[in-house]
Amino acid sequence: MTDYDFEGRAYLSYPDRLVILAFGKHVGTALPDVPTHYLKWMLDQDFPKDLGTAVAEELKARGEM
């Protein structure tokens, strides 16, 4: 994906293009630094599709999916 639509729930940092959360207790945290249990919780919530995809990709990279 090159264009993300996180609907204000996250943003991309540049130049590293890390997804940074913009809500909740992990606000300002890059997905690689968010605890696995929180990412799994996010998958069960009604977040924007692109954010869900980014979370799933992070969990796959961790071997959790």
pLDDT at 17: 84
- What is this structure's pTM? 0.85
Which range marks the domain in which residue 41 is found?
10-61
Answer yes or no: is 3 within a domain.
Answer: no
Strands (E) across 1-65 are located at: 10-12, 19-21
Provide the number of structural domains found in the chain: 1
Q: Provide the residue-wise pLDDT of the chain in tens; the chain has 65 residues.
A: 445 668 888 888 878 888 999 999 999 999 999 999 999 999 999 999 989 999 999 999 999 98
How many other CB atoms are found less than 10 A from the CB of residue 51?
Answer: 22
Decide if 54 contacts 3 (C-beta within 8 A). no
Answer yes or no: is 1 within a domain.
Answer: no
